[in-house]
Amino acid sequence: MSMENTVIMHYDMDAFFAAVEIRDNPELAGKPMIVGESIVTTASYEARKYGIHSAMSVYEAKKLCPKLIVVPASKGKYSQVAAGIQNLILRMTDRVEFASIDEGYVDISGLVELFPSKDYFAEKFRQRIRDHTQLSCSVGIGFNRLSAKMASEIHKPGGHFIFHSPEQFVDYIKDKKTGIIPGIGKKFEAELQELHFVKIEDLYTLSVKEMCHMFGNARGAWLWNVIRGIDYSRIDDKPATQSIGNENTFYTPLTTEAEFDREWEELFRHSYKRLVSHGYICKNVTIKVKVSDFETITRSKTFSSPTDDAQKLRRAMFDLFENEEISRSVRLLGVYFGGLVEKASRQLNLDFLSGK
């Protein structure tokens, strides 16, 4: 199926851990509450009104809201609920990439045409999730992964939004701040602001060559594409189980940016050396982070084609970490390269296709 006919849906469960606890304990409904122990894992929407957010310490959260209710995490329960949601989706289609326990991308190309409209499909999907779990989710439908992801944020919680075309996408984002783009973390946003690029529309004055000169080839080309709604990455519905990587556990938790940078560089050096020595290129990078309350966070980035470009892989690793805004108290870091392809066989295929 051509990219022109692609329709992608992104679903995101609303305040998932907190919502499960409220569902199972109705007396928590309408009250500011968080899930976590020393670190906020998830905050209810009532708690978020006080400025409370994930990765914040519970101590800080209680200062913002003295009446805050703190509920310990029941990870087994959340995993069970998430598995039920994923099974529901898999009954609809197997063209799914589950990005985390509470969100995923679904290729609904062709499937959505069986329904009266994309709006109808989104409403039916949200209702089906609610009927089976008594939980709400937000849905975005777009012409690629990027537009679907951004659409799911627009009417959150419990709503949906649809981007029908790149033109509509650009028209929507042009007057928004640059941080609206997934992948532009706080550091990159600050860097852009220092250069007087505050809104997306400010960036349209730059050519791709100028962006590559200012921000590096990989990041510059990426930025030029995403602000125009260009994203060629596809749904990875067959994630590879084979991976190469390393992780380190720290008996004294890491607390400073310098410590994070040092440990990430060390992990990357060892993992990348193994990747190259085994003759592989990879399609995705995954990071693993365990914070001080022992919650484990994993995040991945998938590339449009396999690579062993050290700069590209290192940048993906750092971006995944920075975008999470993780607490300054970390007990474990890990990085893995997945979707492995033997470099020699990949080159053989390319040679064959090009007639060499």
Per-residue pLDDT band for 323 (boundaries 50, 70, 90) equals confident
Show the DSSP H helices in 110-207 as ranges.
118-133, 145-154, 166-173, 186-194, 200-203
Alpha-carbon gap, residue 160 to 151, rounded angstroms: 7
The domain 168-226 is placed in CATH, from the list 1.10.10.60, 1.10.150.20, 1.10.10.10, 3.40.140.10, at: 1.10.150.20
Across residues 117-126, what is the average pLDDT?
A: 96
Indicate if the pLDDT at residue 2 is higher than 50: no
The CATH number assigned to the domain with range 243-346 reads: 3.30.1490.100
* 52 in Cβ contact with 40 (< 8 Å): yes
Sequence-distant (6+) residues with CB within 8 A of 249 are 290, 331, 332
Which of 21, 103, 265, 295 is the catalytic position? 103
Q: pLDDT tens digits for 145-171?
A: 999 999 999 999 999 999 999 999 999
Q: Is 103 a catalytic residue?
A: yes
Indicate if the pLDDT at residue 104 is higher than 70: yes
Strand partners, 162: 141
DSSP class of residue 181 equals S
Q: pLDDT tens digits for 59-84?
A: 999 999 999 999 999 888 998 999 99
Per-residue pLDDT band for 240 (boundaries 50, 70, 90) equals very low
Which token pair is 143?
């012409």
Indicate if the pLDDT at residue 255 is higher than 60: yes
For the question of whether the overall pTM of this predicted structure is more than 0.75, the answer is no
Per-residue pLDDT band for 251 (boundaries 50, 70, 90) equals low
The CATH number assigned to the domain with range 1-164 reads: 3.30.70.270
Spell out the domain ranges in the chain.
1-164, 168-226, 243-346
Across residues 89-112, what is the average pLDDT?
A: 89
